[in-house]
Structure 1
Amino acid sequence: MSSDVFQPGVMPGRLPAAAYEAQFSDLHPALDGHEALVAADRCYFCHDAPCITACPTDIDIPLFIRQIATGTPDAAAKTILTQNIMGGMCARVCPTETLCEEACVREAAEGKPVLIGQLQRYATDHLQAQGIHPFSRGATTGKRIAVVGAGPAGLACAHRLAMLGHDVVVHDARPKPGGLNEYGIAAYKTPDGFAQAEVDWLLKIGGIEIKHGLALGDGVKLDGLRAVYDAVFLGIGLAGVNALGAEGEDKDGVSDAVDFIAELRQASDVAQVPIGRDVVVIGGGMTAVDAAVQAKLLGALNVTLVYRRGRDRMNASVFEQDLAASKGVRIVTHAVPVAVHGNGAVREIEFEYVDDAMQGTGQTLKLAADQVFKAIGQTLEGEGLPVLDGRKIKVDANGRTSVDDVWAGGDCASGGDDLTVTAVAEGRDAAEDMHRVLMGDDG
């Protein structure tokens, strides 16, 4: 191993060039045909399958697994994609261990669930590799709909609207579509450009135009969209990042974990992404774990993830926590940042331990750090938004906002978990409700 690993400061190329490919290889290598048949054979094909109930997109899991078992993976893919048009991505990033697989009868009986996520990936990859798009546009309705945000919610909404015969124009701030799928998920979960390949495949339905460089309040006004389009869907995500509230957090070397992940995802050569020797990540969700693990994979010597509550309160699943620990990430709980020390750039970060009621104990912890990543939650940004419910757009069960002809879904909307699979479900369901209203079928 290169001696550069042990040098302080933030620098690229800490590892030998040949090491990066292995470090950032696929977290869950795809099943081959035989492995898929063996895995599918373990399914009981339950009539009242609890795995379906646990799936936010209501995929008929026993049916698609039976279709794999009978040698028809493309039929299985259509079963999946009918409910979840981004089933390929969700198979890679969805926390199946806390959703469908946790509910699996095999998990309850044996502690070893059917590999639902990997089987879903097998089926959807098989179909998409052939360039097949199993859906076609309905008869043209003459309605034009604006979607703001090309993330999972926006794309799922746009695809379902296109299937129903509407013309859709998607407005997005980034130069590439995909939202968090493209910019916010660990590189080792979706290697080989899968996020963009899935978007390209999704757009084969036709009837969807994407305009880039347009954010709500910066190039796009909600009232302006309402004046031009028959309906609007907001899938703008959460673009802002919460502040630490610690003295000295403006020092060099303190940055947002989402920006670090985006930089890594867009890098043509991950070896050129600079990383510190001593890295501290603050937060307890998937973003925090993704940042911590990738810092370690880039060659950081010491990576510590610090969370203000106990591990049982972390939004990151137990699987994700264990993954971080297996990569050498140290996890510290019940600690909050109070000060960032250093002369211009961070050199040390100080925490105070807190009890379960978040009251300070007076005990402190100081960690050497030349790089600190904040992953303490994101906030809603945008001008002229509909009525909010706390920090998110208030919506009803169908995604309707307080403004006529405006729907919302995904991370920016109230009510759901901040998961890709939930965003897809909300975008899909909002599209169905928009269609009913636009076609005069709204009861």
Structure 2
Amino acid sequence: MATSHQASGIQAARLDAAGIAENFSDLHLPFDAHEAAVAADRCYFCFDAPCMTACPTSIDIPQFIREIQAGHPESAAKTILDQNILGGMCARVCPTETLCEEACVREAAEGKPVEIGRLQRYATDRVMEKNEHPFTRAEATGKRIAVVGAGPAGLAAAHRLAMLGHDVQVYDAREKPGGLNEFGIAAYKSTDDFAQREVDWLLQIGGITMQYGQKLGAQISLDELKEQFDAVFLSIGLAGVNALRAEGEDLKGVRDAVDFIADLRQADDLTTLPVGRNVVVIGGGMTAVDAAVQSKLLGAENVTIAYRRSREEMGASRFEQDLAASKGVKLMFNVMPVAIHGEGAVSEIELEYTEVSGGKVTGTGERFRLVADQVFKAIGQTLQGQPDAIALEGGKIKVDANGRTSVAGVWAGGDCASGGEDLTVTAVAEGRDAAMDIHSSLMG
């Protein structure tokens, strides 16, 4: 472990391999069979299950828990995967505390919901461990669909389309599939290379081919795809990052939180990943929390999240806020960055207290500074590379309820599209539903 007298600054190996391994172990340990049975016994199997209504993919939660209770986890997994083919990842990363588990009747009555997320993981893990795919393809339709983006929405759409008998070509700008599941989620939520194992398992359906290093607007164009395929589904995510618009933003040591998380997720040895001694993260969403917590787990001594609004307005759930605090991250509310100071590299960040009036954030004029050798920007991402022909809404691709864009034959879903929350489970639902609409459109 690095000692306190070492010079401050961004450096690797602040913790030894054993410390890193302990810090980045599974956030929620999986159930064994007995634990799953006990957890399943707590479900009331409500007829009008509010948990099911709260799930963006509408999984029949009482049904799959009943199947676990009866000792049939594979059947439970089929119930889950019918609605959410990425149910294994969603069981790990979904904010269940603000979705199905918050709606659970036992949460309302006792303050302790049925552990739906961990039960979902138990069932889906059983199926994946058998390395059997529970779905088979329909007879070939002869139709070809292009999916641009191999994140949750694109993978869900590709699987559903392939299952319905279509041939699917998936393009992705990166060197491997998974999107945010692979590059953007905290490592302690998706251990043992789960994101890639899930993609490999999903592709067992057949009928899906993958091409990497293919970016829309560079190696491929929408016009070309429309000519070559019967339909196109865009799930290109949000590749751009908003600027701080603060003096000193270009200093060494200031970087995008999404890039830091991606580097961390792709690192073979986390002891080689440099991190600052005094880290400040600007933002209030899941990316901010993931960057802050992982900085602390890598050995940073002081980590602060600075958010310009109140705790209640923070995008990250209270569970995630409490997780950050439990790891030693300091959360500051109603503060915004106004300048970053340093000679070539960041040494301090200057913040100003804020107040919110009529929904608008303004500075109070009262400023202070924090020592910082690393500053992460986690203030939202923006759409990049969308074709000019496609109409936008709120900075995203405008879609209708079925995922149809303003261009005939082109659908979109996931973070790049207008509509729902930027969650893995929402992206899966949008990809699945767009695939069903594409199928209906192509088959008359």
TM-score, normalised to structure 2, is 0.98
Residue equivalent to 2:97:
97
Question: Per the alignment, in what secondary structure is the counterpart of residue 17 of structure 2?
Answer: coil
Distance, in Å, in 2 between the alignment partners of 1:240 and 1:408 is 18
Question: How far off is 1:6 after superposition?
Answer: 5.6
2:107 corresponding residue in structure 1: 107
CA distance in 1, matches of 2:128, 2:6: 43
Q: Is the 8 A contact 2:84 2:428 kept in 1?
A: yes
CA distance, structure 1, for counterparts of residue 6 and residue 301 of structure 2: 7
Quote the offset at 1:359 in angstroms. 1.7
Query: What corresponds to 1:435 in structure 2?
Result: 439
1:426 and 2:430 equivalent?
yes
Q: Matched residues in 2 for 1:18 and 1:46: separation?
A: 45
Task: Specify the code of the residue in structure 2 equivalent to 1:97.
Answer: E
- Match runs of 1:71-82 below 5 Å: 71-82=71-82
**1:136-285 residue pairs with structure 2 within 5 A?**
136-285=136-285
Q: 1:382 is matched with which residue: 380, 385, 389?
A: 385
Percent of pairs with identical residues: 70
* Secondary structure of residue in 1 paired with 2:340: strand
1:334 maps to what in 2? 334
Partner Cα separation in structure 1 for residue 7 and residue 207 of structure 2:
53
Amino acid at match of 1:111: G
Contact 1:37 1:68 in 2 (8 A): yes
Deviations 1:207-233 (A, max 9, x none): 000100011111110111001100000
Identify the range of structure 1 (188-197 vs 376-385) with the bigger mean alpha-carbon deviation. Answer: 376-385
Give the TM-score normalised by the residue count of structure 1. Answer: 0.98
- State how far apart, in whole Å, the 1-side matches of 2:232 and 2:408 are: 9
- Which residue pairs with 2:317 in the alignment? 317
Structure 1 counterpart of 2:103, one-letter code: A
Distance 1:64 1:293, change over 3 A: same
**Conservation of the 8 A alpha-carbon contact between 1:5 and 1:299:** no
CA positional deviation for 1:384 = 1.5
SS in 1 for 2:165: coil
Please name the residue that 1:24 is paired with.
24
Q: Deviations over 1:66-96 (max 9, x none)?
A: 0000000000000000000000000000000
Aligned ranges for residues 26-65 of structure 1 at < 5 Å?
A: 26-65=26-65
Q: Against the structure 1 CA distance between its residues 250 and 132, is the aligned structure 2 distance closer, same or farther, given a 3 Å change threshold?
A: same
Partner Cα distance (1:144, 1:398) in 2:
19
Q: Partner of 2:298 in structure 1?
A: 298
Given that 2:2 and 2:13 are in contact with CA atoms closer than 8 Å, whether structure 1 keeps it comes out as: no
Contact conserved, 1:5 with 1:301, CA < 8 A, in 2?
Answer: no
Match of 2:368 in 1: 365
What residue in structure 2 maps to residue 287 of structure 1?
287
Counterpart of 1:430 in structure 2: which amino acid? Answer: A
Contact 1:6/1:301 (<8 A) preserved = no
Q: Is the 8 A contact 1:306 1:331 kept in 2?
A: yes
d(CA) in 1 for partners of 2:3, 2:417:
48
Consecutive unaligned residues of structure 2, counting only runs of 5 or more, are: none
8 Å Cα contact 1:238-1:378 kept in structure 2: yes
What is the number of residues matched between the two proteins? 440
**1:17 Cα offset (Å):** 2.5
Measure the CA separation in 2 of the matches of 1:25 and 1:395: 39
Q: Write the distance in 2 (CA, Å) between the matches of 1:216 and 1:292.
A: 32
Q: Secondary structure at the match of 1:260?
A: helix
Q: Does 1:405 align with 2:409?
A: yes
Structure 1: segments with no counterpart, 5+ residues? none
- For the 8 Å contact 1:6–1:277, the answer to whether it is kept is no
Q: Could you give the per-residue CA deviations for residues 109-143 of structure 1, whole angstroms, max 9, x where no partner exists?
A: 00000000000000000110000100011110000
Aligned letter for 2:418? S
SS where residue 15 of structure 2 aligns? coil
Distance in 2 between residues matched to 1:322 and 1:5, nearest whole Å: 30
**Deviations, residues 140-167 of structure 1 (Å, cap 9, x unaligned):** 0000000000000000000000000000
Q: How far, CA to CA, are the matches of 1:215 and 1:127 in structure 2?
A: 33
The separation in 2 between residues aligned to 1:409 and 1:44, in whole angstroms, is 34
- The DSSP-based 3-state class of the residue aligned with 2:130 is coil
1:199 aligned counterpart, secondary structure? helix
Q: Work out the CA distance in 2 between the residues paired with 1:186 and 1:117.
A: 17
Q: Distance in 1 between matches of 2:28 and 2:333?
A: 28
Indicate the RMSD between aligned Cα atoms, in angstroms.
Answer: 0.8
Structure 1 runs of 4+ aligned residues shifted over 3 Å read 4-7
Q: Is the 8 A contact 1:154 1:233 kept in 2?
A: yes
